Structure 1
Amino acid sequence: MKVLVVGSGGREHALLWKAAQSPLVTALYAAPGNPGMEALAERVPWDGDLEALAEFAEREGIDLTLVGPEAPLVEGIADRFLERGLLVFGPTQRAAMIEGSKAFAKTLMERYGIPTARYRTFRDPILALEYLEEVGAPVVVKDSGLAAGKGVTVAFDLHQAKQAVANILNRAEGGEVVIEEYLEGVEATVLALTDGKSILPLIPSQDHKRLLDGDQGPMTGGMGAVAPFPMDEATQKQVEEGILKPLIQGLRAEGVLYRGVVYAGLMLTREGPKVLEFNARFGDPEAQAVLPLLESDLVELALRVAEGRLEGARPVWKPMAAAAIVLASPGYPEAPRKGIPLRIPEPPEGVLVFHAGTRLGPQGLETSGGRVLNVVGLGKDLEEALGRAYAFIPQIGFPGAIYRKDIGKKALRR
């Protein structure tokens, strides 16, 4: 099989790394990929033109395409491929609206009884500000559209909440804001494969969204993840039966067949798990922690999803733990520095390095974005996995790198 992976980040590097282990694969392509992927796949120059990439896939006889990032999914990349009779692992444009519009997702949850925070949506800033005065703080303000994981403000005072509303609604192109009640509990992520009929939850994981230790600082795309996150069987059953299945069944009732991976960002409250957000793709950095623990063939599973025959699939997991630590560029998330030289020694056994924001410059490997590298430690338990990841990070030449020193501490406490 010829397999194409779409994207250039750490999540896509992890997808490619896992796909390369499949005996089904005869050739791998990455569009546009990054320097870390060059040893695994042929990189395809791509500027984001969906039609051009679909033409490439048809011309090259690509058998299966794995779409990593959310933006091309929301723009309709799966539709373009399906129109040409090409198999794609990733939801159609209508299905991807669970991530493309938080307002749409909240309406869907309300309609089909999926537990989530109480909310209101607004396009008028005056009405939004009046509502904030009514509900008070703490409150959560969300950009309804795509924001690369950084469109959420957890406001503990009304001034902060009002500023977040103004930032979203006062843009020249307009916007839509979702104002939610503040939920208390423990955050976790459950990723699940689905062919639109069957649901196959993967092991739970936990992301760390804030930039700084102790969950301080601004929201980011994610500074690290651990897997498996300790979640009891009863809670996992609640997530599958009360959240994932109603979502897929609800979409089908709306005439939407969802094929790909569903990301359920959860708050584990005293009343049970509630949805913070749905995403239409693998989490980043959750994928970098979850995929190394998957013993089963990812390509075979993705093929079953794309062909609508997921029923009966039972993935096998390694009896291990994984910890992914994100190394970000100075200035992230507001103004990350680019062009910083990087030196990455050969990682020892039990450590993986996935490239995210890297490029080849005149002097060699350098930074090209905010989140630059993912260092993943593997171990018999989470403590060992964290120890291996953190022991390797100082060996990497990355001047000024930002990374959290407390990834996984919440999971260890559980």
Structure 2
Amino acid sequence: MKVVVVGKGGREHALAQKLKESSLVSELWVCPGNPGMRVAGLQCASAESPAEIETFCLQNQVSLVVVGPEAAILSDLKQRLEAQGISCFAPSAKVAELESSKLFCKGVLQESQVPTAACHVGYSEKEAMTYLEQHDFQKPIVIKADGLAQGKGVWVCESLEKSQEAVRVLGSQYGYPLLLEECLIGKELSAFALCDGKDFVLLGTACDYKRITPDPFSANTGGMGAYSPCDFITKEDESTIHQIFAKTLACLHAKNLPYQGFLFAGLMKTNQGLYVLEYNVRMGDPETQALLPRLKSDLAKLIVTAVTHELKNQVCEVKPETSVHVVAVSEGYPQGPLNTGHPVAIEPKVRHQLYYAGVSEMQNTLVNSGGRVLGITALAASREEARELAYQDIQKVSFKGMYVREDIGL
């Protein structure tokens, strides 16, 4: 079977590396990939737009396409490929509103009777402001833009003045409606499922580090590192996670919106139990780089089983080890300007899995070209040991202005 992975970041490197391990896969390309992936032994093709990927797949007799980033999921790529008889493992653009519309997602969560934060919808500035004036602010209130906002569409507000500012800013930048939610207090984690439209298998859990520094008020990033599995959930929590996915998929199926693809639940463990904060219609980055090295099951086989709607009673086996993934970023990330174009030196003694993201090639040399440049994942019997191994290896990587958080996995 010939396979294409769509995307060019660390998540797609991890997906491609894991799929390549399968005996089912005879040839694999990443479209467009990056020069670091080529150094790591993967084939990359310059196709990036839906039309270019469609043409490449037809020319190379590709039978399965696995989509990484949300932009490609929201495009017409799946429609194009399936019209040509090529399996595309990704949700439809319509059901992908689970991520692109917080209002749609909240409606599905409420219909599914899945625990989620209480919410009021403001369809205008006046309506939102009227609601805020009735809030006592004994607890903060969370104000969210409905659509995709590149991580800038959520404000946590502890006062009426701050919340009114949030409404004005978010309303002017992203429009209405706005969601005004109760603020849940607890620990965040991510859970991942591989879905066939009705049934699913759980791939596992992870915890990521979103801030650029350990300061909880520092700038938000795409993710500075992660570990897997999440170690503060109980067997009862694991059962709840299973029920959350089962109820959500059943609700979508009943709406004639079967969900096929990876589904990523952002969860909060509170004193009252697990709540769903949001869904993403893809694997997380960097959680994928922590999670996939732990899989014992053949990922390609699971995906083929999903696209043929035969996942019922399947399970995903995982290794008992814990993983820690540490990300190296360019100076200036995340606000910019980025200090890029510098050679990336990697000692040959790197022992663990290295995943490339924001790199380019200049005069036959890898240089940093994006915010998140690369990451290293180590597996070990304990999180402490995996963390030590990952940091030992990341110290063998260098480029001018390189920055790494020192507390991943603590």
What's the TM-score, normalizing by structure 1?
0.92
Q: CA deviation at 1:121?
A: 3.2
Give 1:72's aligned amino acid.
A
Give 2:379's aligned amino acid.
L
Q: CA deviation at 1:319?
A: 1.7
**Cα distance change of structure 1 residues 336 and 2 upon mapping to structure 2, 3 Å threshold:** farther
Structure 1 partner of 2:21 = 21
Contact 1:226 1:408 in 2 (8 A): yes
- Does structure 1 residue 140 correspond to structure 2 residue 142? yes
Cα distance between partner residues in 2 of 1:346 and 1:166: 53
- Does structure 1 residue 372 correspond to structure 2 residue 373? yes
Moved more, 365-374 or 147-156: 147-156
Cα distance between partner residues in 1 of 2:191 and 2:200: 12
1:245-301 Cα offsets, whole Å, 9 max, x none, are: 111001011101111111000001111110011010111111000000011111111
* Helix, strand or coil at the partner of 1:205: strand
Contact 1:193 1:201 in 2 (8 A): yes
Cα distance between partner residues in 2 of 1:134 and 1:335: 39
Q: CA deviation at 1:133?
A: 3.5
Contact 1:330 1:400 in 2 (8 A): yes
Cα distance between partner residues in 2 of 1:160 and 1:232: 37
**Once the two structures are aligned, what percentage of the paired residues are identical?**
37
Cα distance between partner residues in 2 of 1:332 and 1:33: 21
Structure 1 partner of 2:90 = 90
Contact 1:27 1:41 in 2 (8 A): no
Cα distance between partner residues in 2 of 1:128 and 1:341: 50
Structure 2 partner of 1:233 = 235
Structure 2 partner of 1:412 = none
Structure 2 partner of 1:258 = 259
Contact 1:336 1:370 in 2 (8 A): no
* Helix, strand or coil at the partner of 1:216: coil
Cα distance between partner residues in 2 of 1:125 and 1:331: 35
Structure 2 partner of 1:154 = 156
* Helix, strand or coil at the partner of 1:217: coil
Q: CA deviation at 1:374?
A: 1.3
Structure 1 partner of 2:10 = 10
Structure 2 partner of 1:408 = 409
> Aligned match of 1:339 in 338, 341, 344?
341
Give 2:203's aligned amino acid.
L
Cα distance between partner residues in 2 of 1:346 and 1:143: 46
Q: CA deviation at 1:149?
A: 4.1
1:38-78 Cα offsets, whole Å, 9 max, x none, are: 1433222134x223322322232111111011111122422
1:25-46 Cα offsets, whole Å, 9 max, x none, are: 1111111101121143322213
Contact 1:220 1:333 in 2 (8 A): yes
RMSD of aligned alpha carbons? 2.0
Structure 1 partner of 2:124 = 124
Contact 1:194 1:260 in 2 (8 A): yes
Q: Which structure 2 residues correspond to residues 149-298 of structure 1 after superposition, within 5 A?
A: 149-171=151-173, 174=175, 176-230=177-231, 231-241=233-243, 243-298=244-299
Q: CA deviation at 1:79?
A: 2.4
Q: CA deviation at 1:154?
A: 2.8
1:165-198 Cα offsets, whole Å, 9 max, x none, are: 3443213x74543222110111111101110121
Q: CA deviation at 1:353?
A: 1.3
Moved more, 9-18 or 303-312: 303-312
Moved more, 198-207 or 400-409: 400-409
* Helix, strand or coil at the partner of 2:332: coil
- Does structure 1 residue 326 correspond to structure 2 residue 323? no
Contact 1:153 1:219 in 2 (8 A): no
Contact 2:10 2:289 in 1 (8 A): yes
Contact 1:324 1:376 in 2 (8 A): yes
Q: CA deviation at 1:347?
A: 4.8
**Cα distance change of structure 1 residues 71 and 402 upon mapping to structure 2, 3 Å threshold:** same
**Cα distance change of structure 1 residues 219 and 151 upon mapping to structure 2, 3 Å threshold:** farther
Cα distance between partner residues in 1 of 2:153 and 2:191: 20
Cα distance between partner residues in 2 of 1:6 and 1:353: 19
Listed as ranges, the gaps of 5+ residues in structure 1 are 410-414
**Cα distance change of structure 1 residues 249 and 340 upon mapping to structure 2, 3 Å threshold:** same
Aligned residues: 405
Q: CA deviation at 1:331?
A: 1.7
* Helix, strand or coil at the partner of 2:82: helix
What's the TM-score, normalizing by structure 2?
0.93
* Helix, strand or coil at the partner of 2:74: helix
Listed as ranges, the gaps of 5+ residues in structure 2 are none
